Chains A and B, each alone.
Chain A
Amino acid sequence: MSSPAATASLDHPLAPPTATGIPNKKILLWAFLASDCMFFGTLISTHLVYRLHPPPGNPVPTQIFNIELTSFSTFILLMSSLMMALAVNAIHRGNLRSMRSSLLVTILFGLIFLGCQVFEFNDFVFDKHVTITNSIFGSTFFTLTGTHGTHVAIGVLWLALMYIRSFKPAGASGGGWVGRAVVHLLVFAATAVLSLYSLYHLVHAVLAGGAAWATVTGFLTADLAPVLGALAGLGALRWLGRAHGPVDFDARNADDVESMGLYWHFVDIVWIVIFTAVYLLEYVFPAAH
């Protein structure tokens, strides 16, 4: 793992000079992340404090958690972090096409994570009858994981906007640029909704019927339209993403992509802590029935 590339210090030769030698937007984002650490620290500590001495009648977490689904979503978020790091690496090398591909995969993984959270929340509320208002556990759990999910959703939106921004034509106004960008974003939103809808129903079908070919074919029969819509949306995104000439986005925008990456990685490390403190520890200290 040790190589010249791994040990050399980072530089910002294309950014305006600053007193610290670090771009201002980068140092301010780190300051924001430090404040967000304190924000999540309080939410996590609130959850843990109320788990120390749960009141009678509180739900038993190990009976409602689906640790397989949570582990899958944790893995997905880790892989999205990898793709984000590769996107930043690509724009540092001036490779715009690779950056766009990596951003799209990061967005997709982020949406899968959100889909898993939506599924989990629905399962807790409608099947397990744990809501944000009917128990202390529900209040602290949904506040903490919901806040984290909101951060992920904002990150996905930021990623999408960064992706769209990378198509801005160089030079003049570029006829149709804004309109094309709006259409691009709408197609992305529609594809995301259809994909999440399909994924939600697929997961529901697998959990209900088991991981069998019959379950998948049953799902495709019942939800063919949204699946086809999602696939069509992916094709449309690929067509909209084709090159239209030189663009006003290159290695000089690397600091912007890096700032985006810092936010996304922070969301990932918060989930690392939440996964351990909220989910895994419950299996080490199983609550009494």
Chain B
Amino acid sequence: MNPSLLSTVPGHPPAQGRFFVFVQIAMILAIITGLELLIIFLPFPKPLLIGGLVLLSAVKFLFVIFFFMHLRWDKLLLTCVFFIGLVLGGGTLWALVSLFGATASVPLSSLP
């Protein structure tokens, strides 16, 4: 016996449609990676470049977790569990970078 999840469950949609979704998303991710490589060499103001890089990375990140990792089609509990860790990790990162990026945190060895 070689059951398919989808052929035995009434009303469950076939996964064939997701094949094309995944391929399209992979193409989008590849294009975004190329865009990231392009913008770092553009003569734009640094805040704009950083904002662009962060935005593009966030788009890639969200595409992978919601489509490839199936969060879009799973129960909300899994999204909450993952985002708890993500927010804690991201918050720690932001706090440390803010703390050590402050003027008072400049090491003596780095002063002119």
Which residues of A does B touch, CB under 8 Å? 1, 3-11, 13-14, 20-22, 26-27, 30-31, 33-42, 44-46, 48-49, 52-56, 67, 71, 74-75, 78-79, 81-82, 84-86, 88-89, 92-96, 246, 250-252, 254, 258, 261-262, 265-266, 268-269, 272-273, 275-276, 280-281, 283-285
Report whether A283 and B40 are in contact in the complex, using a CB–CB cutoff of 8 Å: yes
Given A11-B9, A14-B5, A54-B110: A93 in contact with B16 (beta carbons within 8 A): yes
Given A27-B77, A276-B54: A8 in contact with B85 (beta carbons within 8 A): no
Given A79-B26, A85-B68: A38 in contact with B21 (beta carbons within 8 A): no
Contact partners of B37 in chain A: CB under 8 A: 67, 71, 280
Count of CB-CB pairs between chains A and B under 8 Å = 211
Given A9-B74, A53-B106, A265-B64: A89 in contact with B15 (beta carbons within 8 A): yes
Contact among A31, A85, A94, A283 for B22, CB-based, below 8 A: A85
Report whether A269 and B89 are in contact in the complex, using a CB–CB cutoff of 8 Å: no
Could you tell me the distance between the alpha carbons of A53 and B97 in the complex, rounded to whole angstroms? 11
Contact partners of B7 in chain A: CB under 8 A: 94
Contact partners of A283 in chain B: CB under 8 A: 40-41
Contact partners of A8 in chain B: CB under 8 A: 12-13, 73
Which chain A residue shows the least CB distance to B83?
A34
Report whether B73 and A93 are in contact in the complex, using a CB–CB cutoff of 8 Å: no
Could you tell me the distance between the alpha carbons of A139 and B94 in the complex, rounded to whole angstroms? 21
Q: Within the complex, what minimum Cβ distance (angstroms) separates A190 from chain B?
A: 30
User: What are 9 sample pairs from A and B whose C-beta atoms fall under 8 A apart?
Assistant: A5-B17, A6-B21, A11-B12, A13-B9, A34-B82, A85-B67, A94-B7, A276-B54, A283-B40
Could you tell me the distance between the alpha carbons of A13 and B30 in the complex, rounded to whole angstroms? 34
Contact partners of A254 in chain B: CB under 8 A: 5
Other A-B pairs beyond A1-B24, A42-B89, A56-B109, 12, CB < 8 Å: A13-B8, A14-B5, A34-B82, A39-B89, A48-B97, A89-B22, A93-B14, A95-B4, A268-B64, A276-B56, A283-B40, A283-B41
Given A41-B93, A42-B89, A269-B64: A281 in contact with B5 (beta carbons within 8 A): no
Query: Which label, helix, strand, loop or mixed, suits the secondary structure of the A interface?
Result: helix
Given A3-B17, A34-B82, A54-B110: A251 in contact with B5 (beta carbons within 8 A): yes
Report whether A33 and B82 are in contact in the complex, using a CB–CB cutoff of 8 Å: yes
Give the interface size class of chain B.
35 or more
Contact partners of A9 in chain B: CB under 8 A: 73-75
Which chain A residue shows the least CB distance to B12?
A11
Contact among A31, A38, A251, A285 for B3, CB-based, below 8 A: A251
Proximity string of chain B (41-56) to chain A, C-beta cutoff 8 Å, 1 when within and 0 when not: 1000010011001101
Q: Within the complex, what minimum Cβ distance (angstroms) separates B20 from chain A?
A: 8
